[in-house]
Amino acid sequence: MSSAGSPAKAALRGLRVGFGVPMCVLAASFLGFGALVRESGMALWQGLFSTASAWALPGQVALVELHAVGAPPLAIVVAVGLSNARLLPMVITLMPYLADQNRPRWQYYVAANWVAVTGWAAALRACPGMVAEERLPYFMGYSMVLWPASLAGTAIGFALAGAVPVAVSLGLVFLNPIYFMLVFAADVSSPPRVAALVLGAILGPLLFLVTPDWSLLLTGVIAGTVAFLALHRRR
């Protein structure tokens, strides 16, 4: 078990680890979102509200695009809900590694609002080796770099929309999938989880051609279950 010395120091360590490539990638990804918000005729505060509250980029993009084509609120909410369903298994998988029996449970309900792919992957890497009381502070420290960076990215992207060459802004949006791809390729080593990644990457686009709305959910359940049944070993 490693210790930063105190929960406050663990939070600072989280801040420092987030400050750098993860922060830049998130800010850049939200530059693209901010530009999209403006091009869709939405107000800056609406884009900021979306980033501050939902903080899950694919669902945010779905919301803006559906709104732009005049979809009713109910259709938008269903699409966002389906696109963000990944957060459920992500939170379940992360929570045991943030757990501290001495910490009130409501704090986890608050912290859950900041579970997003980047911080999730970082906490899964770092937190299992930490003393229990420092885990949640580390995760929140890390998130409190990425979240403001996302808000700043949204605002700057909104302001710069149209001012940056299109190719560059497209490249910035592309940083997000590339970053996630590399993080998972580097981090994940258990055979069933590697198989789940590979099968999911194949099934995701294929199922999207068949049923765009349900493809993610189906991909997760089918690819995850096949990978689990094929490679999980009872301990």
Partner 1 sequence: MIEVLGGELLVALVLAAFVTYLWRGLGVALSGKLNVKSAIFEWVACVAYALLAGLIARMIFLPSGPLAETALPDRVAAAALAFTLFFLTRKNLLIGVSSGFALLVLLTLGRGWAG
Residues 92-151 within binding reach of partner 1 (CB under 8 A): 92-93, 95-96, 105, 108-109, 112-113, 115, 117
Q: Where are the alpha helices (DSSP H) in 84-131?
A: 87-98, 106-111, 117-126
Interactions with partner 1, residue window 207-226 (CB under 8 A): 207-209, 215-217, 219-225
- Give least dist CB 2 to partner 1, A: 19
Spell out the SS3 assignment of 169-212.
HHHHHHHHHHHHHHHHHHHCCCHHHHHHHHHHHHHHHHHHHHCC
Sign for the CA dihedral angle at 139, 221, 55, 146 comes to positive
- Whichever of 7 and 157 has its CB closer to partner 1, that residue is 157
Q: Contact with partner 1 (CB under 8 A): which of 35, 127, 145, 149?
A: 35
Strand partners, 130: 2
Residue for token pair 């609120």: 73
Site residue total, partner 1 (CB under 8 A): 101
Residue 130, helix vs strand vs coil: strand
Interactions with partner 1, residue window 164-193 (CB under 8 A): 165-186, 188, 192-193
- Whichever of 5 and 129 has its CB closer to partner 1, that residue is 129
What is the amino acid identity at position 103?
A: R
- Give least dist CB 114 to partner 1, A: 9
- Whichever of 11 and 203 has its CB closer to partner 1, that residue is 203
- Give least dist CB 108 to partner 1, A: 5
